Amino acid sequence: MIARLWRLLPGGRSLVTSIPYLWLLLFFLVPFVIVLKISFSSTVIAMPPYEPLLHWTAEKVMQIKLNLGNFAFLVEDNLYWIAYLNSIKVAAISTLFCLLIGYPIAYSIARSSPSMRNILMLLIVLPFWTSFLLRVYAWIGILKNNGLLNNFLISIGVIDQPIQMLQTDFAVYVGIVYSYLPFMILPLYANLEKMDLTLLEAAADLGCKPWQGFLKITLPLSVPGVIAGCLLVFIPAVGEFVIPSLLGDPGMLMIGKVLWTEFFNNRDWPVASAVAIALLLFLVIPIMYFQRAQDVEAGGGLHR
């Protein structure tokens, strides 16, 4: 009898697998539903500054007021389009540079001696020991007009007037590439490091010069690592707020900053929520489609 009752309780295995679901439920799904709810309400001057979606009339009838105006507003106002496209452009270019810089780094670490690898990987994650905000601030000191970089260029005689670097797009790209580079290197390294090097010997045996072996074997086999790295850089870079605020041109329109302005300056929580929901859909739908295409093509073979 007791044994039968015991069996009704969830087993250890389902307890363990439920942990990530619980986490996602608490910290992703619940906040998402709240934001979604706010995005369909309208602003009022109150605390909180939006109308509730549900309320009971005097006749005890439940009323739902859905305001689609916030989303319509996003489409009507050019500002949002420009901010979205600009954010995607900045994120895409930054991701490309992270890939171009990160791939050779990950490759050379993966091909160095095993004892060297751990030291080099430690150095890659070392910047995480300092706060992200402090590291971005440090770039102000480097890039400003009488900063380290300008002073250095003047002292070696390359330029005689300081170049305006801070508060330009250039500074934003530098900041994003610098901050997110480890997120590109880590998955790429994990992929390249586990590659079977006899495959390259086999390619050489079949007539490939070393660079041909790289193009035909290493590069195609590292595609899952490239995709993982690009997603890890691109997704946070699109919504990036701190780096453009500190290093960029104040007039530069990026969606993270628009969100901030709507939320804190305009106190328009419903529009800010709509901006956030639209951004999520913008990113999630193509990424899900892309990953599914990847899985179908790989057929599980690459992920053994």
Residues making contact with other proteins (CB under 8 A): 196, 198-199, 201-209, 212, 216-217, 220-221, 299-302, 304
The answer for residues whose C-beta is within 8 angstroms of residue 5's C-beta and 6 or more apart is none
Question: Would you state the structure tokens that stand for residue 299, as one six-digit string?
Answer: 């057929």
Between residues 55 and 209, which has the closer beta carbon with respect to other proteins? Answer: 209
For 19, 29, 97, 284, the CA distances from 25, given in Å and listed in that order, are: 10, 5, 35, 18
Q: How far is the CB of 295 from other proteins (least distance, A)?
A: 14
Q: Least distance (Å) from other proteins to the CB of residue 95?
A: 23
End-to-end, the C-alpha distance of the chain in Å comes to 44
- Closest distance between other proteins and the C-beta of residue 298, in Å? 8
Query: Which is it for the CA torsion 259, 263, 269, 271, positive or negative?
Result: negative
Give the whole-angstrom CA distance, residue 116 versus residue 213.
24
Indicate the residue among 140 and 190 with the shorter CB distance to other proteins.
Answer: 190
Please enumerate in sequence order all residues whose Cβ is within 8 A of that of 234, keeping only pairs 6 or more positions apart, or say none.
91, 92, 94, 95
Q: Which is nearer to other proteins, 251 or 299 (CB)?
A: 299
Smallest separation (angstroms) from other proteins to the CB of 207: 4
Q: Which is nearer to other proteins, 138 or 202 (CB)?
A: 202
Minimum CB separation of residue 8 from other proteins in Å reads: 40
- Please, which residue, 10 or 301, has the CB nearer to other proteins? 301
In the complex with other proteins, which residue's Cβ is closer, 203 or 233?
Answer: 203
Which stretch of DSSP H or E encloses residue 182?
helix 169-193
Shortest Å, Cβ 166 to other proteins: 45
Strand partners, 64: 54
Task: Kindly give, in sequence order, each residue whose CB lies less than 8 Å from that of residue 87, ignoring residues fewer than 6 positions away.
Answer: 238, 239, 240, 254, 255, 256
